[in-house]
Structure 1
Amino acid sequence: MFTARKWIFLIFLISQTSANYLPPLVPPNLKKVNSQIFTNLTLNLNEILASLRLQKLGNSTECGAKISQLVTDIKTGNPESVAFLDALGKPGPGVTTGNFLLLGNYDMCGTGALGNQTSGNVYKNCVVMATLKLGSLPLSLTWTGCSPPECSSTSDVRGVLDQIAALINKSRIIQTDPSSWSVQCDVEQKFDAGAYVAVMILSLSGFLVVVGTMWYLLEPVVLSITDRGRDDTTVLVQAEETEHGDEDPDKKLSNLEEKYRTSNQSGRILGLLGPLLKCFSLQKTMGTLFSTSTKPGQVLCLNGIRVLSINWVVLGHAYAFSPYYIAGYSYVADLMKRRGFMVIQNGLPSVDSFFALSGFLVTYLLLKQLSKRGGMSPLQWVAFYVHRYVRLTVPYLVAMLVEGWLYRLLTSGPRSQQMFSSSLSAHETCKKYWYTNLLYINNLVPFKGNGGCLGQGWYLANDMQFFILAPIFIVLLFWRPLIGLLGTIGSIVSSAIAAAVITAVYHLGPAFTADTNQDDYWLLYNKPWIRITPYLVGILGGWVYWRWGGMISTRVERLPEWLKVVYAAPLWAVTAAVQYGVVCGLYQDIQKVQLHHINPSEVDSVFYQSTARIAWSLSLTLQILLCQCGLGGFINSLLSWTGWQILARLTYSVFLLHIGLMTVLFGQLRHPLFLNPDFEFSVLYLGILAISYLSAAVLYLTVEQPIANLEAMTYRKTK
C-alpha cells in the first residue's frame, strides 16, 4: 500500500525527460531500461524509504518544517494536507513504456483549492528537475506540484531538495548529484515598458483600422457635404459681383473665402488624410487579401510552393514542442523507425526552399526593371532597400512585442515558467537583443545564439543580408553575364567549402540531433556564409528564367503533348529523387544516433553538410523553371492554382506568429500528450496550423497590408 511518504518520494523520481525542442535520445533497450526503473522503484521502495525520513527536514528551515507537517497531517485527514498531496504529480500508467511525465494539478495552486484551505495564503506551482543515475543510465527528470507559502523563495525549496537528494543517495540504488537539481517556481508576471509599448501599438493599430473602415463608409457623405459648401461659395461670389459690380473681384473673392475658410480647410485636410485612413480600412485590406486576380509575368507556381513550405515548417516546429509533454517515449522510438518520419526529423530543407524562392523572385523582378530602364538612379536604389526594410520590419516588430512581452502575461500552466522565465525565453532575449533584430544582425549577435528576439528571427536576418548583397550578383549578371555567372558559382562553392570545414573542425553531424552541441551547431545553422547557398542558386534560376524563359516557353508550346512528357518526365523524376535523398538520405545515420548512440562517419557528415543545400535548391529551382516553361503538367496546375494566392499572402505572418502561438498552447497544457496513435498529433498539428493562419490574417489585415498600402503611396513615386 502506498503511504504518504511513498507518494512524496515518487513525485521526485518519476517524470519525463526534458528536451530542448528536439527529439530525445531514446535508449536502444528502452523496454529493458523501463523495466529496471519500475522494478527498482517498487521492489526496493521500502529499503529506500527506510532511510528517507522527511520529518528530519523540519529541523532545518520553515519550508522543510511545513512540508514535514503536511506529510504527517495526512494521517489525520487535514484538508490542507489532503489538498497539497492531491495537487502533486503522481505516477500514472505506462511507466514501462516511457510515461515518466507527472504534471500536478496546476489549478489547485495559487488561489485554487489550496488557497481556500489556507485562508488565501498562496501556494505556488513549482517545477523540479533532477539528474539521477540508475546504474549506468542517466535520467533527466522533471516534476510539477504546489509549494506552500512558507517556501517563499526558490532557495527555500532548493534547500529541501538538497536534503532529499542526500537521503536518496544513501539508498545506494539511485544516485544523484544534488548540485544538478534545479527548481523553478511561479513568479508573478508584471507589465514592463515593453508590454506597455506593445499594448499602445496594438491599440493604435486597432484604432486606425476602425477609423479607416468608418471613413471608407462615410467618405461619400462627407465629400458631398464639402462639395455642397463649395457650390454655395460660388453662388455667393456671383451674388456679390452683381451687387458690387465695380469693386475689385479679387478683393471680393478674398473676403468670401475668409467667410468659408473653415469649410475649405476641412475639405483640404480630409483630402489629405482620407487616402491615408483608407490604407487601414478592412474593405481595402480584405480586398487585397482575397483577391485572386493575376498579372502577366507572374510566377504563379511560387504561391503553392510557399504555402506548402510554411506548412512544412509549422509541422516540424509542432513536433519539436511535443517532447515537453509526450507521455510515452516508446512511441517516439517507433516513430524514428519510420522512414517517412524523416520529413519531420530532417525538415530543414523547408527553410532552404524559402531562400531559393526569395533569390529567384528578387532576381527576376530586378532584372525586368533593369532591362526596362537600362539602370537605376541612386534614389531608386535607396527606395529598393527602404521598401524591403519597411515591409518586413513593421509586422516583425509587432510580432516581437507580442511574443516577447505579452504572451507571458496571458499564459499559465505547469511548465509555463520554464518557457517564459528562463534566460533563453523570448522575454529575456527580447529585452537584451531586440535591437539586433531590427538591424537584422541577430544571426551574428550573439555569435553563438539562436536568433535573438524570436527564435525564427535568424532566417529574417539572413534573408535581409542576402537581399542587401543580391544586387551585386544581379547587376553583374545583367551587364557582365560571364563575370556574374562565375562570381555566383564561385560563391556557392565557397559556401560549401565553409560548411565542410566547420563540420569537420567541430565534429558536427549531418543533422541537428539531441546529442548535438548546440553552441557549435549555430556556427553552421544560422550563419550567412553557410545559408546563402540556396539563395545564390535561386539568383541563378531567376537569371536563367529572365534571359531564356520566354524563348523556351515559345518552343515548348509548339511541341506535341507526348513529346513534352518525354522531355519533362526524366527531369521531374531526377529532381524528385534528389529531394528525396536530401530529406530521407540520413535515415540510417539518424537511426544510429537517436536509437543506438553511434555517430555517423565524419566523411558522411562533411559530404552532406556541404552538398545538401545545393542539391535541394537546384532541384527546386529546376522544378520552378519546368513549371514556368510549360513542362509542369498537372504539378504546375496544382502549384499555380489561384486559390494559393490568398494563403501565400499570409505565409510571412504565419512564420512570424506560429512559434509564439505554440508556446502559449503548450504552456497552457494541464495534461500529457499521448501521441500514439498518430491521430492525436495530426489533430494537434492541424489545430496549430488553423490558429496560425487565423492569427496571421489578423496581423495581415491590421498591420502588414496597411503598412504596405502606406509605403506603396511613396514607393511608386520613385519608380
Structure 2
Amino acid sequence: MAWIILGHVVLTVSGFTDNALYLIRYVLNSWTFQAIVNATFSVDTFFFLSGLLVAYLGMRELKRSNGKMNVPVMYFYRYIRLTPAYAFVILMYVSVWPLLGSGPMWMFMSRGLEPCTKSWWTNLIYINNIYPGDLQKQCMSWGWYLGNDMHFYLLSPLFLYLMYRHKKIAVATMSAVLLFSLIITGTFSRLTDQQPNVLETVSFAQLVVKSLPKDDGLITDMFIGPVPNDAQQDFNMFLEDIYTKPWCRIGAYLVGMAFGYLLHANQNRVKMPKIVAIGGWIAALVTSSLIIFGLYPTLHNMEMLNLDVAAFYNAVTRPVWCCCVGWVVIACTSGYGAWINTLLSWKAFIPLSRLTYGLYLLHPLVINGLCWSSEVNWHYSLLLLVILFSGSLLLSIVFAYFLYVLIEAPIMGIMKIVMERNQIKKSPDTPVKELEDKKLLPDNKKTSGAV
C-alpha cells in the first residue's frame, strides 16, 4: 500500500512544481526511479492477493461443508463488507472535504467533484470502471480498482466449484480465461499503438512540458525532446483501454487463485529440494527486477519499443509479476523464506493490515488536499518527496483508523453476529468457540486497495 501511495505522491506533485523540467530529467536519468514509475505493479499484487485468499479460504470452506456453497450469501456479505465505508468516503468527499482547504488553488479542486453529481451511483454498484469508464468522468477515479475486484469476485464461485469438483476442467477454464485476457490486452495495445506504462511516462512528461510557459524550444528539446500533439491522447488511451478494464487485469487475479489452490492442496507446505528453492528465489528476483528496471535504457534514451514487442510486454508482464509474488508466498509458507519470511511475518503489520482498505480509499484525498491547498508551487527535490510521502502516509493511516473504528469494525461485528446466529440455528450443538475459530467466507480478508 505504501508503494501505491508513493507512486500517487510523485504523480500528483509533478503538477505542482516550479521546476518540472528538473523532475522530468531526474526521472529519465535515474534508474532507481523506475521503482516508483512502475508502482502500478503494486496494484497487480493486490489483485493477486485477493485471488489467492478467495481460493485458499474458499477451498477450505468447501471442504468443511462437503462442497456446498451459498453464492447469494457470499455476494451479499462481500457487498456489505465493502460498500458502507466506500459510500461514507464518497459522502465526505463531496460534502465535507471541500470545506477543509483554502488557498488560491483550492477553488480549482472542486472541479474534480463534478463527476460525483452524475455518476456516484455507478461506484456503489461497482460498474464505474466500465460506465462511465473514462477516469475523468468517474467519481473518485481511483475506485476503478474496486470495480475490477468486485467483478472478479463475482466470477470466483465458478472457479471455486470447478477447482473442488473438476480439477482438470478448472485448469482448462482458468487457462482459457487467462489466455483470452492476454490476447485482448495485446490486441488493444497493438491496435492503439500503446507502449509499456513506464514508457508512457515520456508522454506524461511531454504533457508537463506542454503546460509550461513557451520558450524558444531549446530548453524543452534539451530536457525532453520535441513534444508531439497526441501526447495527451496516448497517455489517456493507455489508462482507459488497458489499465482499468477487468478483461485486461483479470490475469493477476487468476494467478492468485492458482497459487491459493496450490497452498490449500499442499496444506500450506510445498516440499522441494533446497537447490530448487534457491533456484526459485533467483528466478523470481531476476524476473521481477527485469520487469521493474529492464526498460530503463529504453526510457533513458527516449526511445520506444517495437509495437509488437510493446504489445507482448503489456500482455504478459503483470501475470508474470504475480508469479514472482506467488513464489514468495509459496517459499515463505513452506519454510524457504529465511529472513524475508521473518520480515513479512512481523506482528506490527497485523493492525496495519486492517487499515489497508481505508488507506486505499482515503490516501488520494490526503495527497490532493496537500497539493491543492498549497499557496505556491513547490520546488521539487528528493527531500520534498520524502516529506510529502511521509506526511501523506501518516495522515492517511490516521484517517483510515477513524474510518475503521466508525464504519468498518461495527459492520464486521454485525456480520459476525449474524453469521454465528445462523450457524447456531443450523447446528445448535456447535460450540461458539468453534464458530469463532472458523473462517466462514471465502473473502474473509482485509480488503486491499489500487490506482
User: C-alpha separation between the residues in 2 aligned to 1:524 and 1:450?
Assistant: 16
The aligned residue for residue 352 of structure 2 is 647
1:620 maps to 2:322: no
The aligned residue for residue 69 of structure 1 is none
Please state whether the residue corresponding to 2:329 is helix, strand or coil.
helix
Please state whether the residue corresponding to 1:443 is helix, strand or coil.
coil
User: Which amino acid is 1:323 matched to?
Assistant: S
Identical aligned residues as a percent:
29
Summarize deviations over 1:302-361 as a string: whole Å, max 9, x none: xxxxxxxx0000000001111222121343112321111011112110000000000000
User: C-alpha separation between the residues in 1 aligned to 2:422 and 2:8?
Assistant: 40
User: Which amino acid is 2:310 matched to?
Assistant: S
- Contact 1:383 1:715 (C-alpha < 8 Å) held by counterparts: no
Please state whether the residue corresponding to 2:141 is helix, strand or coil.
coil
Selected match of 1:327 from 13, 18, 21 = 18
User: C-alpha separation between the residues in 2 aligned to 1:459 and 1:339?
Assistant: 28
Please state whether the residue corresponding to 1:442 is helix, strand or coil.
coil
Q: Name which of structure 1's ranges 368-377 and 348-357 shifts more when overlaid on structure 2.
A: 368-377
Superposed displacement of residue 418, structure 1 = 2.4
- Contact 1:442 1:451 (C-alpha < 8 Å) held by counterparts: no
Please state whether the residue corresponding to 2:172 is helix, strand or coil.
helix
- Contact 2:185 2:242 (C-alpha < 8 Å) held by counterparts: yes
Change over 3 Å in CA distance of 1:549–1:575 after alignment to 2: farther
User: Which amino acid is 1:362 matched to?
Assistant: V
Change over 3 Å in CA distance of 1:463–1:550 after alignment to 2: closer
- Following superposition of structure 1 onto structure 2, how do residues 275-314 of structure 1 map, counting pairs within 5 Å? 310-314=1-5
Please state whether the residue corresponding to 1:456 is helix, strand or coil.
helix
User: Which amino acid is 2:282 matched to?
Assistant: A
Q: Which runs of 4+ in 1 moved over 6 A?
A: none
Change over 3 Å in CA distance of 1:547–1:412 after alignment to 2: same
1:349 maps to 2:41: yes
User: Which amino acid is 1:483 matched to?
Assistant: I
User: C-alpha separation between the residues in 2 aligned to 1:382 and 1:456?
Assistant: 27
1:608 maps to 2:326: no
Selected match of 1:520 from 221, 234, 237 = 237
- Contact 2:263 2:269 (C-alpha < 8 Å) held by counterparts: no
Superposed displacement of residue 642, structure 1 = 1.4
The aligned residue for residue 590 of structure 1 is 299
Summarize deviations over 1:189-230 as a string: whole Å, max 9, x none: xxxxxxxxxxxxxxxxxxxxxxxxxxxxxxxxxxxxxxxxxx
Superposed displacement of residue 581, structure 1 = 1.4
- Contact 2:38 2:292 (C-alpha < 8 Å) held by counterparts: yes
User: C-alpha separation between the residues in 1 aligned to 2:136 and 2:251?
Assistant: 20
1:443 maps to 2:132: no
The aligned residue for residue 486 of structure 1 is 172
The aligned residue for residue 254 of structure 2 is 536
Superposed displacement of residue 680, structure 1 = 2.0
Summarize deviations over 1:234-273 as a string: whole Å, max 9, x none: xxxxxxxxxxxxxxxxxxxxxxxxxxxxxxxxxxxxxxxx
Superposed displacement of residue 434, structure 1 = 0.6
- Following superposition of structure 1 onto structure 2, how do residues 122-161 of structure 1 map, counting pairs within 5 Å? none
Superposed displacement of residue 477, structure 1 = 0.9
- Following superposition of structure 1 onto structure 2, how do residues 465-484 of structure 1 map, counting pairs within 5 Å? 465-484=151-170
The aligned residue for residue 317 of structure 1 is 8
User: C-alpha separation between the residues in 2 aligned to 1:664 and 1:602?
Assistant: 39
The aligned residue for residue 272 of structure 1 is none
User: C-alpha separation between the residues in 1 aligned to 2:109 and 2:195?
Assistant: 27
Please state whether the residue corresponding to 1:387 is helix, strand or coil.
helix
Aligned length: 390
The aligned residue for residue 388 of structure 1 is 78
1:373 maps to 2:59: no
Note the residue ranges of structure 2 that are not aligned, 5 or more in a row: 205-230, 424-451
The aligned residue for residue 175 of structure 1 is none
The aligned residue for residue 358 of structure 1 is 50
RCO greater where, 1 or 2, for CA within 8 Å and sep 6 or more? 2
1:581 maps to 2:299: no
The aligned residue for residue 711 of structure 1 is 415
TM-score (norm: length of structure 1): 0.53
Superposed displacement of residue 381, structure 1 = 2.3
User: C-alpha separation between the residues in 1 aligned to 2:379 and 2:237?
Assistant: 33
- Contact 1:383 1:718 (C-alpha < 8 Å) held by counterparts: no
User: C-alpha separation between the residues in 1 aligned to 2:261 and 2:306?
Assistant: 38
Summarize deviations over 1:598-618 as a string: whole Å, max 9, x none: 443212311110111111011
Summarize deviations over 1:14-45 as a string: whole Å, max 9, x none: xxxxxxxxxxxxxxxxxxxxxxxxxxxxxxxx
Selected match of 2:90 from 400, 410, 413 = 400
- Following superposition of structure 1 onto structure 2, how do residues 28-39 of structure 1 map, counting pairs within 5 Å? none
User: C-alpha separation between the residues in 2 aligned to 1:452 and 1:716?
Assistant: 38
User: Which amino acid is 2:120 matched to?
Assistant: W
User: C-alpha separation between the residues in 2 aligned to 1:624 and 1:490?
Assistant: 24
Summarize deviations over 1:409-445 as a string: whole Å, max 9, x none: 2222222222222xxx1x2111110110000000000
Task: State the structure with more CA Rg.
Answer: 1
User: C-alpha separation between the residues in 2 aligned to 1:643 and 1:623?
Assistant: 20
User: C-alpha separation between the residues in 1 aligned to 2:63 and 2:137?
Assistant: 37
- Contact 1:510 1:604 (C-alpha < 8 Å) held by counterparts: no
Selected match of 1:675 from 356, 380, 401 = 380
User: C-alpha separation between the residues in 2 aligned to 1:653 and 1:390?
Assistant: 15
- Contact 1:434 1:453 (C-alpha < 8 Å) held by counterparts: yes
- Contact 1:414 1:670 (C-alpha < 8 Å) held by counterparts: yes
User: Which amino acid is 1:360 matched to?
Assistant: L
User: C-alpha separation between the residues in 2 aligned to 1:325 and 1:482?
Assistant: 54
User: C-alpha separation between the residues in 2 aligned to 1:533 and 1:381?
Assistant: 23
User: C-alpha separation between the residues in 2 aligned to 1:551 and 1:615?
Assistant: 22
Q: Name which of structure 1's ranges 334-343 and 480-489 shifts more when overlaid on structure 2.
A: 334-343
Superposed displacement of residue 550, structure 1 = 4.5
- Contact 1:443 1:450 (C-alpha < 8 Å) held by counterparts: no
- Contact 1:360 1:541 (C-alpha < 8 Å) held by counterparts: yes
Summarize deviations over 1:462-485 as a string: whole Å, max 9, x none: 000100101111110110000101
- Contact 2:9 2:389 (C-alpha < 8 Å) held by counterparts: yes
Q: Name which of structure 1's ranges 443-452 and 679-688 shifts more when overlaid on structure 2.
A: 443-452
